[in-house]
Structure 1
Amino acid sequence: MGEVAQRLLKFLEWASSEKVEHDPEWPSPCEILPPDNNGMITWQPVAMNPPPKFEGILLHPSLKEFYGSFWGGTLEAEYSGESVLLRVAWNDEDFNRITQIINEHVSVNMPIFVANTDSELYFGVDNITGEVWLCEPGYPPIRQVSQSLAEFLTAIS
């Protein structure tokens, strides 16, 4: 398991202590059923087996590792005082949506989305260098925040 996957798993295990609302229309391999009396479930990270191939998409290895290692829930964290929501696929349909977003970013040579903020800004990985940037959709990246995705995952809390 690579450094990005190890750090991601650590966050997923931490985040899975929070119950989420069960949606029977949005099943996931992560769910631990049955839901409680309030319709809430616990979940756990599940390895993607086999990992996706990302056919037809040239992706930086750290992005393949981030998006192709585990099924999981959304991860709430903080980076330099900014709220961060790391985006991990919950199920196949969610993964397909993420893949579409990745394709859009690759097609316009923009950093590949890995996390939202409370605003319209997002954190993205440069698909060539692997550096993490703070970005605004439709504009050049604002500033580099980390040398690598593994370093970024270490810095968030």
Structure 2
Amino acid sequence: MSVYKKLESLFNQYQTQAKQQTGQYPLVAHDEQWPSPCEMNNTLMNSQIQWQAVEQNPKSAMDNLSKALEVAFPAEIGEFYGNFYADNISVSSPWGQLILLQAWSETDYDQLQQNITGHVLMKKKLKHDETVFIALTQEDDLLVTVENCTGSVWLEYVGKRPHQKIADSISEFLAQVEADFSV
């Protein structure tokens, strides 16, 4: 299954679970300074607003960042971050609870690219193979990353080399996780 299709499925599962458990779409703290096309109109209550994943139009690309950093990103990285705007979602996995990272808006996508830039520059400074983060674990300094040269998915402590390969690709990784909405 493609990265696009698996993400679409995960967002649908997550939103369905939220509606089953709470009677509404997932909630996020509303910030007028940080608007998103994900925010659902007329759902603001107690400083929280319902949201749903929406397709980016046009799709975002990592091409400019790739050129600026002189790094070739695997195509699946662009698919992972460039197809939807959404809040981060919790998923269950063989490696425990994870938070899949996503861009909330075009402005957030720009911020995400800045964070990726910092991560890649740190890896270069440490003379490590470049990686890009795609998820957080329950441990503060343990990330799920994608190795740029192979596209494989790894567990990696911040500032260290990846230490445990968990999938050969993002699509293979996503096939092993399930949406896990909890109140």
- Residues 142 and 156 in structure 2, CA contact (< 8 A), matched pair in contact too: yes
Please say if 1:94 is aligned against 2:108.
yes
The separation in 2 between residues aligned to 1:100 and 1:21, in whole angstroms, is 23
The separation in 2 between residues aligned to 1:115 and 1:131, in whole angstroms, is 14
- Of the three residues 38, 49, 63, the one matched with 2:46 is 38
Alignment-derived partner of residue 142 in structure 1: 163
Unaligned residue ranges in structure 2 (runs of 5+) = 16-24, 67-71, 179-183
Counterparts in 2 of 1:64 and 1:15: CA distance versus 1, 3 Å: same
Note the C-alpha offset of 1:36: 4.0
Unaligned residue ranges in structure 1 (runs of 5+) = none
Return 53-62 or 128-137, whichever deviates more.
53-62
- Percent pairwise identity: 31
Alignment-derived partner of residue 122 in structure 1: 143
TM-score by length of 1: 0.90
The separation in 1 between residues aligned to 2:30 and 2:6, in whole angstroms, is 26
The higher-RCO structure (CA 8 Å, 6+ apart) is 2
Following TM superposition, the consecutive aligned residue runs of length 4 or more in structure 1 with deviations greater than 4 angstroms are none
The one-character-per-residue Cα deviations of 1:4-63 (angstroms, maximum 9, x if unpaired) are: 011111112233332222222211011102234333322121111111232141311000
Alignment-derived partner of residue 9 in structure 1: 8
Report which of the two structures shows the higher radius of gyration computed on alpha carbons. Answer: 2
TM-score by length of 2: 0.78
3-state DSSP class of the match of 1:85? Answer: strand
3-state DSSP class of the match of 1:134? Answer: strand
Alignment-derived partner of residue 22 in structure 2: none
How many residues get paired?
A: 156
Alignment-derived partner of residue 156 in structure 1: 177
Alignment-derived partner of residue 78 in structure 2: 64
The RMSD of aligned alpha carbons is: 1.7
- Of the three residues 132, 145, 151, the one matched with 2:153 is 132
Higher normalized helix content (fraction of residues): 2
